[in-house]
Amino acid sequence: MLTEDDIKTALRVVKYPGYSRDIVSFGLVKQIAAHDGAVSVAMQLTTANPDVANQIKSESERALQALPGVTRVQVEVKLQGSPQAAAPQSPWAQQHKVPGIRRIVAVASGKGGVGKSTVSVNLACALQHLGAKVGLLDCDIYGPSIPLMMGVHERPTISAEEKMVPPSNYGVKLMSMGFLVEGDQPVIWRGPMIMKTIQQFFSAVEWGDLDLLLVDLPPGTGDAQLSLCQTVPLDGGVIVTTPQEASLGVVRKGIAMFQKVNVPILGIVENMSYFTAPGGERVEIFGHGGGQAEAARQHVAFLGEVPLFTEIREGGDRGVPVVVSAPDQPAGQAFIKIAQTLRQLFA
């Protein structure tokens, strides 16, 4: 008997025209039903282009007809603005594209302590190293660490249009709550204030022309994550984990959160994969391969692994990411390879 997961798996071979990602990860599949060999699927597109709808419809029908036991297929594709597409708006209907920014990608983790900010910083620098125009937004309101890791502690300047001009270092534009508070002053806010601040990080910041804005999220699935998803349409999420099951268990919650708000998962990064002892022995302190196995289980890309290197920690403490200080060394290369893989997803 066909399940909903079987049908979604079949539809993952259907790419959105002009993109390398599939229609399921884009959140276009809204309803699925299967009974006695008959399969029906309803989709809602965000375009009014009938050619796109026809291509998706025909490719979806072929994919579903290839499933064992399927005798009849019905695929309904609704275009943006069509009468039958009218429905109550969700909070996500208030999203607005940010002028000048081609893509926005969130870097998230289910729990703290997995090195998510370290990955965000080095990934941003690696993408810049590969020739992209990159920005990095620190959405960890309570514990901002991007200023320290990027070696920037100055306040943003104000433009003639009365917008904040993000400081930059190593070719990456930056914004963080850490730039706006004094020293170790704590931020003691409730949810509405967090949402307002995140909205201002987009509407009141002069980001300029960017190929990619990386957003470093706090751990978990709370106010900051939901506020971000409500504010701007995300092009995808990158999940950072460590190999052990304790980390992978909460990674699944992070993936489920993005799925509920129709944000495609671009892939998983396994941090702290192993340590190479001075004598050359490979020590898998937290186990190994859990991130890759989880990526296969979730049907998402495995973007790569980052071993434990002392240089990575030292670079973050000094404000000079290892991708900047030693891009040709193994530690820097680990992040550059992940950046190359990520760019291919948008090819």
Q: Are residues 72 and 113 in the same domain?
A: no
What string of DSSP letters covers 206-260? Answer: ---SEEEEEEEPPSSSSHHHHHHHHHS--SEEEEEE-SSHHHHHHHHHHHHHHHH
Task: Say what the pLDDT of residue 140 is.
Answer: 80
Q: Are residues 291 and 185 in the same domain?
A: yes
Q: Are residues 327 and 217 in the same domain?
A: yes
Q: Are residues 284 and 257 in the same domain?
A: yes
Q: Are residues 123 and 250 in the same domain?
A: yes
Q: Are residues 177 and 308 in the same domain?
A: yes
Q: Are residues 181 and 217 in the same domain?
A: yes
Q: Are residues 180 and 266 in the same domain?
A: yes
Q: Are residues 165 and 133 in the same domain?
A: yes
Q: Are residues 178 and 68 in the same domain?
A: no
CATH number of the domain encompassing residue 319:
3.40.50.300
List phi, psi (to 5°) of 256: -65, -35
Of the residues 85, 109, 144, the one at which a domain ends: 85
Computed over every residue of the chain, the mean pLDDT equals 83
Q: Which residues of the chain have pLDDT under 70?
A: 19-20, 80-96, 111, 182-192, 194, 220-231, 347
Task: Say what the pLDDT of residue 311 is.
Answer: 93
Over residues 286-322, the pLDDT tens digits come to: 777 888 888 888 888 899 999 999 999 999 999 999 9
- What is d(CA 123, CA 121) in angstroms, rounded to the nearest whole number? 5
Q: Are residues 243 and 174 in the same domain?
A: yes
Q: Which domain holds residue 292?
A: 93-345
Q: How many distinct structural domains can be found in the chain?
A: 2
Q: Are residues 68 and 111 in the same domain?
A: no
Of the residues 68, 85, 102, the one at which a domain ends: 85
Of the residues 51, 85, 119, the one at which a domain ends: 85
- The answer for residues whose C-beta is within 8 angstroms of residue 10's C-beta and 6 or more apart is 63, 64, 66, 67
Size of the chain in residues: 347
Task: Say what the pLDDT of residue 149 is.
Answer: 95
- What is d(CA 114, CA 102) in angstroms, rounded to the nearest whole number? 28
- What is d(CA 197, CA 142) in angstroms, rounded to the nearest whole number? 12
- The verdict on pTM exceeding 0.75 is no
CATH number of the domain encompassing residue 16:
3.30.300.130
Under a CB-based contact definition with an 8 Å cutoff, are residues 225 and 140 in contact? Answer: no
